[in-house]
């Protein structure tokens, strides 16, 4: 995993509006973060076995490792938009998209599979049994 990436996983329970809400929260936060740091992001709708969730990854350009303060700031910005009610979020997102400089990233569908053999815990357990 790259050390210049902050991954935020979350669930939304608004039925057919889930992708729109995830896009709004992630893009509002991404554009605000971009005012402070050169940032790229992607939004994924992840299916992992029977689990379904969203994951937004914010990659900060030009640095090799994100400091704890920067990571906390990114998460705080994201949380501030995630706490808005649906009406507030929709209004803010609609208004923000009117700006030519506002960047919109679309949600992409991702299907993942469990791979427990590459999990660090299982690797550690395997080494312990072989000593």
pLDDT means per 10 residues, the chain with 131 residues, are 85 89 98 95 93 94 89 97 96 97 96 68 52 43
Predicted TM-score (pTM) of the model is: 0.83
> Residue 57 in contact with residue 41, Cβ under 8 Å?
yes
Contacts of 124 (CB under 8 A, 6+ apart): none
Residue 129 has what pLDDT? 46
In the chain, what are the domains? 5-129 (3.30.70.1980)
Residue 3 has what pLDDT? 81
Angstrom distance (rounded) from CA 12 to CA 18 = 6
> Residue 31 in contact with residue 96, Cβ under 8 Å?
yes
């Amino acid at each position: 995993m790259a050390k210049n990436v902050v991954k935020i996983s979350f669930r939304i329970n608004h039925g057919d509006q889930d992708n729109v809400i995830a896009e709004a929260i992630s893009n509002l936060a991404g554009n605000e973060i971009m005012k402070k740091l050169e940032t790229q992001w992607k939004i994924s709708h992840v299916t992992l076995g029977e689990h379904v969730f969203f994951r937004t990854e914010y990659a900060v350009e030009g640095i090799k490792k994100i400091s704890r303060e920067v990571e906390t700031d990114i998460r705080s910005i994201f949380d501030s938009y995630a706490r808005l009610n649906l009406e507030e979020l929709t209004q803010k997102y609609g208004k923000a998209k009117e700006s030519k400089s506002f960047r919109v990233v679309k949600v992409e569908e991702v299907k993942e599979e469990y791979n427990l053999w590459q999990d660090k815990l299982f690797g550690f357990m395997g080494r312990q049994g072989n000593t």
